[in-house]
Structure 1
Amino acid sequence: MGIALAISFPAAEVVAKDAKEFEVKDKGALQGAGQVAVVAFNVGFIFESIDQTKKTGGLMGAFGGTTKAQSKLVGVTPEMMQAITDAAYADFTARLAAAGMTVIAPATVFASETMAKAGSDRGPSEESIQLEKKSKGKAVFYAPSALPIQVILPGDVSLGGGFGSIGSNMKATRSALAVGTYAKESGVPAVDVIYLIDFSDQKRPGAFSFGGSLKVNANLSVVPDLSKVTVIGANGKQNQVVITSPMSVDGEFIEVADASTGAAKATQSAANVAGGLAAAAGIGLPMFGKTRKFEFTANGEQYQAGAVALVGNANERIVAQMAAQR
């Protein structure tokens, strides 16, 4: 049975870690725009991830081999994810309006024959995703209730490959054609928003460290490089604002448990002992790795409030960048 540890953080505070928060591409898609159409808005929630790294050896750690962390999020209901997405969309459109950009009503946008071809269902959409070179995961993407269909465009989701990704890519390509045509015909820039929310961070020092240089820490963060806003202009140009630095919110959102089985822990202990004896005897280090499973349990309302605050902060900074492009 795993030992649950409550990770206690200070009061919720959103932090961007690096000086360069965004990569901004301004091709003139928003120049002079008084109106915009938000044609796609998706919030993805990672619920499972596998992260691994290599280590060359040493008396402590993984003794060569691969160190792997398998993490799973539980306790976040579909209703919570929909509520977070709806709040994020409402906040984003309100900020656009405050910045002087009138947001065309979704009913008007999707009443057009062109946009009717952009999608056929409301979602949510579950995808296998590639997070980094040695990290992959699964996420479910929600569209706001205000939009009649879910639209996902090429490049919005870093797919993990396989036959499923082929179908998703084809669907995204058809949607992109419809969106581009709509922007040109209507004369209104089309806005595509994608946020990916993670529940753990394997890069920063955290509550869990089990050798092999991987550390597992519970927090909420907007995944950099995979969270962005793209604007498709009526002139065929595209602008983009990509979050490039980790943006996280700390609070009492998640409890973490080591969910590894007793057999797995015993095997790992034996590997650690064998590696230590080999090193002491000077006979070289065998390639023993570590694999641990962690279960992250969301603390209901606190998780939801933290996620809303997190995406709201991202909205504020991104809309400021968009306003500067007009």
Structure 2
Amino acid sequence: MSKVSGMLMAVVLSIGFVTQPVHAKNDEPLSIKDRGAMEGTTQVAVAAFNVGFIFESTDQTKKTGGLMGAFGGVTKAKSTLVGVTPEMMQTVTDAAYTDFLAKLAAQGIAVVPAETLFANEDIQKAADGTGPLETKIQLEKKSSGVATFVKPSALPLQITLQGDLAEKTGGFASFGKGFAAGGRQAAISRYVHNSGIPLVSVVYLIDFSDQKRPGAFSFGGLKVNANLSVVPEYSKMTIVGGNKTDELVLEQQVSIDGEFIEQANATGGTEKTAQAAANIGGGLAAAAGVGLPMIGKTRKFEFAAKPGNYEQGAAKVATLANEIIVAGVATLR
């Protein structure tokens, strides 16, 4: 095991009782593309820190082969989260941002004050409004969702880098967005070139249903686990330096279980989060279209956030992600 891997694994083990790796590309909690953007750096400009909250997700699979292949059809699970207010999202984002800055300071990395940073003309040109930003996202090949991305209160404008959001767009709308994003990216490059200070962007995507994407469905049952998690591969930190860009991407899910959410399925009735991890099973035959050739079904699940508990849980899982990300930053200098 390399020195970098060892340091990161030590961090993961220290919080291992609440982290659950799922669908990692490899055994490392974090993938790092070190191109030298942080080399010799003692100060950074945190211009973007966006926490995305998934409120709706649709997962599907087409049954093929074996017994199920005789019937075919596409099975879908549509999950919706209700009860999360703008104030709750802001509380979570502000807590995660404050924790992130504290962890950078603990590594000896100074941060350009927000008021100084956003007084810069190029940084203002790089902004995409004041937020929050709601967008359709592509989670996996057979999964999509709707998420709201919130910036910290301390940052007056919302900035996203190209590639920060896994948006599901196409056609002329996609072309227009790409053109505008290119202009904002150019403004960021000018800021970095003129100031000599690397610019940092962090994006976390928080999921509520923890469906095991892709392939969440099987004949034995559809498992929907109402915990809170930071989604791997979509959650990352980007450091833009002079003609160099570093990327630190979470490769393993960071999740916690607790009384954060209540789940009610399509047939009604509410069960606590601790019970939501159980196999829903019984109704899957109907959901999969057994006995109805080539007919698929949609199973709907609704989750309700528990005020107070939800904010604490979401903030906690984001700070755990901070710990892994900042441990990776320490290896770049």
Q: Tell whether the 8 Å contact from 2:287 to 2:297 is kept in structure 1 after alignment.
A: no
Task: Select the residue among 172, 175, 189 that pairs with 2:181.
Answer: 172
Query: Could you list the per-position Cα deviations for residues 33-59 of structure 1 after superposition, in whole angstroms to 9, with x for gaps in the alignment?
Result: 011000111000010111001212555
Q: Tell whether the 8 Å contact from 1:202 to 1:216 is kept in structure 2 after alignment.
A: yes
Listed as ranges, the matches of 1:208-223 within 5 Å are 211=219, 214-223=222-231
Query: Could you list the per-position Cα deviations for residues 208-231 of structure 1 after superposition, in whole angstroms to 9, with x for gaps in the alignment?
Result: 978486432211111111100000
Match in the other structure for 2:310: 303
Q: Tell whether the 8 Å contact from 1:212 to 1:290 is kept in structure 2 after alignment.
A: no
Match in the other structure for 2:273: none
Matched, 1:30 2:38: yes
The residue type equivalent to 2:302 in the other structure is E
Q: Tell whether the 8 Å contact from 1:53 to 1:213 is kept in structure 2 after alignment.
A: no
Cα distance in 2, alignment partners of residues 137 and 21 from structure 1: 24
Task: Select the residue among 280, 289, 298 that pairs with 1:291.
Answer: 298
Instruction: Tell me: CA distance 1:188–1:228, structure 2 relative to 1, closer, same or farther (3 Å).
Output: same
Match in the other structure for 2:125: 117
Query: Could you list the per-position Cα deviations for residues 225-262 of structure 1 after superposition, in whole angstroms to 9, with x for gaps in the alignment?
Result: 110000001x220001000111111111111111369x
Q: Tell whether the 8 Å contact from 1:16 to 1:245 is kept in structure 2 after alignment.
A: yes
Cα distance in 1, alignment partners of residues 69 and 259 from structure 2: 29
Partner-residue secondary structure (3-state), 1:216:
coil
Cα distance in 1, alignment partners of residues 128 and 226 from structure 2: 36
Matched, 1:321 2:328: yes
Task: Select the residue among 63, 87, 101 that pairs with 2:95.
Answer: 87
Q: Tell whether the 8 Å contact from 2:260 to 2:306 is kept in structure 1 after alignment.
A: yes
TM-score relative to the length of structure 1: 0.84
Task: Select the residue among 10, 14, 17 that pairs with 2:18.
Answer: 14
Worse-matched range after superposition: 140-149 or 244-253: 244-253
Query: Could you list the per-position Cα deviations for residues 76-106 of structure 1 after superposition, in whole angstroms to 9, with x for gaps in the alignment?
Result: 1110001101111110011101100001101
Q: How many residues align?
A: 297
TM-score relative to the length of structure 2: 0.82
Listed as ranges, the matches of 1:161-310 within 5 Å are 161-162=169-170, 163-203=172-212, 211=219, 214-233=222-241, 235-259=242-266, 269=286, 272=289, 274-275=291-292, 286-310=293-317
Match in the other structure for 1:50: 58
Mind listing any 5+ residue stretches in structure 2 that lack a counterpart?
Answer: 1-15, 269-282
Q: Tell whether the 8 Å contact from 1:62 to 1:288 is kept in structure 2 after alignment.
A: no
Match in the other structure for 1:280: none
Cα distance in 2, alignment partners of residues 23 and 210 from structure 1: 30
Cα distance in 2, alignment partners of residues 254 and 271 from structure 1: 26
Alpha-carbon distance, 1:146 to partner:
0.5
Partner-residue secondary structure (3-state), 1:201:
coil
Query: Could you list the per-position Cα deviations for residues 122-151 of structure 1 after superposition, in whole angstroms to 9, with x for gaps in the alignment?
Result: 100000110000001110000101111000
* RMSD (CA atoms): 2.6
Partner-residue secondary structure (3-state), 2:37:
coil
Partner-residue secondary structure (3-state), 2:148:
strand
Cα distance in 1, alignment partners of residues 32 and 70 from structure 2: 40
Query: Could you list the per-position Cα deviations for residues 162-182 of structure 1 after superposition, in whole angstroms to 9, with x for gaps in the alignment?
Result: 354444433332221111111
The residue type equivalent to 1:131 in the other structure is L
Structure showing the higher strand proportion among its residues: 1
Identical-residue share of aligned pairs (%): 55
The residue type equivalent to 1:15 in the other structure is T
Match in the other structure for 1:278: none
Alpha-carbon distance, 1:62 to partner:
9.5
